[in-house]
Structure 1
Amino acid sequence: MDELIKYAKENRRLLHQVPEVGFTEYITTYLIYERLSQTNFNLYVGDDALDIDRQVGLPSDDVMANTYQRALDYGVPCSFLEKLHPYKTGVVATIDTNQKGPHVVLRFDIDALPIKESNEIEHVPFKEGFQSKHDGEMHACGHDAHAAIGISVATYIDEHIDELTGKYTIIFQNSEEGVRGAASYAKKGWLDDADYFLSGHVGTISEEVGTVGATATNFLASTKFNVELFGQSSHAGSNPQDGNNALLAASAIALSLNTIAPHREGATRLNVGILQAGQGRNIIPDYAKLECESRGETTQLNEYMFERAKEIIENGAKMYGCESKITVEGFAPSATCSKEMIDIVKSATVSNDAVKTIVDEVSMDASEDAAVFINIVQENNGKATYLIFPYHLKYGHHHPSFDVDEAVLEVAITTFINILNELK
């Protein structure tokens, strides 16, 4: 176990240096694949791992070309990259004990965020020399730790295959940020006969290392969407009557979106995160873009928010003589973990010295596309949970100074292993 924990720390620090945002995780996929190649797992990448037709929110061709070249420069073989390009990053690993038992699916996300990492001396990755080498990209949410935990859990399964039963599928999923990745793996059928589904997250709340949330609650359904507005450009001084101002339309829409009434049946959210428009002070803008998201405590409440948003966007554009286009960039449903997993987690970890406290439920109040997997497994009469592994957060998730307390690696690895042994 000490070796597995040490291995996870090494892998986490390696992955932290090469963060890659969703659908560009070429280097990350290769590093995970290389480590899993040392086991007896069957490995699937590219078209064998996921269905590209289910993907949304894809990066531009320029981004894909630049990150492809970056991976080549890193040393990823061209023959391997060709299997992943474009948009087909991530790894699925399967193994069968050939002994009667459950099919357990585990999921670990692997993508990073478009954030420039802190270079303050107190920031541990900077101080200890494993900070991001990719300017403007950072593992600011702990997915480097998740991938490292997954590699160590897979190594354990491989080394103890004769002591286990059933079969195991481990999904190293791309593009969780923006809730864009899960559906393409689900479409491939990896969870269709799953008896149990396990996933989780380090951090999320600030508590003592050794605390484990057996289940997560309040997964908010979410739709990520972009809005484009097309107006008419003209000279702001001599011919203002000829212009249709897309910037004003965007501004009116942004303000009006925040007037959608809350719903009595539960929590709702809507945010306009980006508004881009304009070329100069004397030009009436003919184009504007907004990046937005809706959320709801249930899938139905999120649909309520998104449908109302569409009405506001379409009518707001017309008010300024503009055309509008709405593009969905990501979606996650709501989900509820299986209550039965609480007792299973408690029973499994009763002798685990790394686990100090089991909390039945931890509220997420956020969106997670693991919800896609949870719902599929439960619809097929399986059980699913999303575990939380807290530590004291000096800085929150998605912050340039975010860091993982590596003591949590032991808690997560041993908890997953305990559960696998409990379910066999």
Structure 2
Amino acid sequence: METIMGFSKLVSLLLIFHLLNPTAVFSSSLSSSKSNGLSEIPKKFLDFAERKEFVDWMVGIRRKIHENPELGYEEFETSKLIRSELDKLGIPYNYPVSVTGVVGFVGTGKPPFVALRADMDALPIQEEVDWEHRSKIPGKMHACGHDAHVSMTLGAAKILKEHVEELKGTVVLVFQPAEEGGGGAKKMLDEGVLDNVDAIFGLHVTHENTIGTVASKPGPLLAGSGFFTAVITGRGGHAALPQHSTDPILAASNVIVSLQHLVSREADPLDSQVVTVAKFQGGSAFNVIPDSVTIGGTFRAFSKASLIQLKQRIEEVIKGQAAVQRCNATVDFHDKPVPTFPPTVNDNDLHEHFLNVAGDMLGNDKVKDMKPLMGSEDFAFYQEAIPGYFYFLGMQDENSPKLGSVHTPHFTINEDVLPYGAALHASLATTHLLKAEPKPRSTEGNLHDEL
């Protein structure tokens, strides 16, 4: 009886201790995490990336790429620069992949495999930023930060190579063409660059968040998107005699208004969707009704089912409303050879991994939870095939003027962001490999045990 009473007192004391000290409940798991050394890697890699000679090297690469922007599937000089740097680092690679793509390998050359992705293409925009290293190619500009993404991923490659003895597997470096609407990710995926890869990480710089911070979320992060063009055909004539014509401008106007009802009256209010008509071309005179009108736009949603539904209803509405006005309509969704972009959906387990790594490097207060955005990313094609994680890297200096927005002639990069991206990418890959458990691998298809 005394033994039983003694045990009861002990249990009570333990319960009181845990209530007063809740963190003690997790002490064993935390100490285990600390003891395996994973928490030390991110800070060590950031210290390495912040060395002056290392930063200067990345800045130089970024500026060379920025001065010579190349559009999707035209990134031949960018690809050449990447291969030159990989050669200097002693990192093997495959080239060409999907026209201009490069795929490098750092580590043991054996499983497990984890991938890092960098997009290479520029935009058809005339740069209006007046600085020493502005674009030398008229009408082309790195207005979305892909030049920084490439330099940071090369930076990650250099960190990984310098610490190759810590890699318990292989990091696959995916330098991808044609992210800006060209579906480069889908093309590279179809060529097998992720065969045998267990996870992939991607990043994007943002002027919205302060430097030294990162932002992301689990689940749907960016919307899936598609595009459409419709030609509405009637019968032209004199504007003073509309009864002798079949007016395609009136039909197109009804189409545009009706398309807005797809979101306001057919979509679940809790399922965010967008249908935008951004193109309207028809007629060339004040007093002539044209024979045809062309409209075009985009549709976006956070689920593939919603995208399919929108696509079906857009075609039905355009053709139906045109018929009401005695016109005909054809609709092109531009899904050949690149299909509709799926939503960018972050893997839940990789989100936890990201929180741990970014928190260890930057501090938990610098890791922000972000709201979903209606923009889209072809990184989503990778995530349909394997677990993937996409995050945003802040680069706004609070003591400096506001940076220009992406996809504008005034977009600028705060080059102080480069060490953060390089170190984060390298840390995410290295720690993921160290935590990975060996998995049985299929002998069927194109899978392989070594690269």
Equivalent residue in structure 1 for 2:104, among 75, 93, 104: 93
* Contact 1:218 1:364 (C-alpha < 8 Å) held by counterparts: yes
**RMSD value over aligned CA atoms?**
2.7
What does residue 173 of structure 1 align with? 176
* 1:402-421 alpha-carbon deviations (Å, 9 max, x no partner): 21111111111111122223
Q: Residue 23 and residue 235 in structure 1: after superposition, are their counterparts in 2 closer, same or farther (change >3 A)?
A: farther
Report the TM-score, using the length of structure 2 for normalisation: 0.73
Kindly tell me: are residues 313 and 386 of structure 1, through their superposed partners in 2, closer, same or farther at Cα, counting changes over 3 Å?
same
Say which of 307, 314, 318 aligns to 2:319.
Answer: 314
2:222 is matched with which residue? 219
SS of the residue corresponding to residue 88 of structure 2 reads: coil
Distance apart, 1:245 and its partner CA: 4.0
Structure 1 partner of 2:212:
210
User: Structure 1 residues 108, 273: CA separation in 2 closer, same or farther (over 3 Å shift)?
Assistant: same
Q: Distance in 2 between matches of 1:23 and 1:317?
A: 37
Tell me the amino acid that sits aligned with residue 116 of structure 2.
Answer: L
Counterpart-to-counterpart distance in 1, 2:210 and 2:345: 25
For residues 293 and 87 of structure 2, the distance between their equivalents in structure 1, rounded to whole angstroms, comes to 47
**Partner SS state of residue 92, structure 1:** strand
Measured against aligned partners, the alpha-carbon deviations of 1:37-78 in whole angstroms (never above 9, x if no partner) come to: 3343343344xx23xxxxxxxxxxxxxxxxxxxxxxxxxxxx
Mapped to 2, the partners of 1:174 and 1:42 lie a distance apart of 19
Structure 1 pair 32–274 and aligned structure 2 pair: CA distance change class (3 A): farther
User: What residue ranges of structure 1 are gaps of 5+ in the alignment?
Assistant: 51-87, 120-125, 379-383
Counterpart for residue 232 of structure 2: 229
Instruction: Measure the CA separation in 2 of the matches of 1:137 and 1:218.
Output: 29
Counterparts of 1:369 and 1:18, CA distance in 2: 23
Q: Is 1:390 matched with 2:394?
A: yes
Distance 2:69 2:385 in 1: 29
The corresponding residue for 2:27 is: none
Percentage of identical aligned residues:
27
Match of residue 275 from structure 1? 280
Secondary structure of the equivalent of 2:354?
Answer: helix
2:260 to 258, 261, 264: 258
Residue 386 of structure 1 aligns to which amino acid in structure 2? F
Structure whose residues are more often helix by fraction: 2
1:152 maps to 155
SS of residue in 1 equivalent to 2:84: helix
Report the equivalent of 1:326.
332
SS class of match (1:145) = helix
| Residue from 369, 372, 377 that aligns with 1:368 | 377
Give 1:408's aligned residue.
417
Encode CA deviations 1:249-307: one digit per residue, 9 max, x unaligned.
33332232222223245101011122222233444323433231111121112222222
Tell me the residue number matched to 1:377.
386
Letter in 1 for 2:394: P
The reply on whether 1:107 has 2:110 as its aligned counterpart is no
Cα 1:208–1:335 change in 2 (3 A) is closer
Partner of 1:60: none
Q: Residues 116 and 429 of structure 2 are in contact (CA less than 8 Å); yes or no, is this contact kept in structure 1?
A: no
CA distance in 2, matches of 1:134, 1:415: 32
Q: Which residue of 2 aligns with 1:58?
A: none
Aligned residue number for residue 25 of structure 2: none
* Counterpart in the other structure of 1:187: 190
Distance 1:351 1:336, change over 3 A: closer
Cα–Cα, structure 1 residues 91 and 245, in superposed 2: closer, same or farther, change >3 Å?
farther
Equivalent residues of 1:248, 1:320 under 8 A apart: no
The aligned amino acid for 1:328 is H
Q: How does 1:68-147 map to 2 (within 5 A)?
A: 88-98=99-109, 101-119=111-129, 126-127=130-131, 129-147=132-150
Q: Does 1:5 align with 2:51?
A: no
Distance in 2, matches of 1:37 and 1:230, equals 56
Q: Structure 1 residues 41 and 168 mapped into 2: Cα distance closer, same or farther (>3 Å)? A: same
In the other structure, the counterpart of 1:53 is none
Instruction: Report the CA distance between 1:235 and its aligned residue.
Output: 5.4
Q: Counterpart of 2:310?
A: 305
In structure 1, what is the Cα distance between the partners aligned to 2:253 and 2:77?
Answer: 40
One-letter code aligned to 1:402: F
Distance change >3 Å, CA 281–CA 356, structure 1 → 2: same
> Counterpart in 2 of 1:82?
none
Gaps of 5+ in 2: 1-48, 397-401, 434-451
Question: Match of 1:252, SS?
Answer: helix
Aligned CA distance change for structure 1 residues 320 and 43 (closer, same or farther; 3 Å): farther
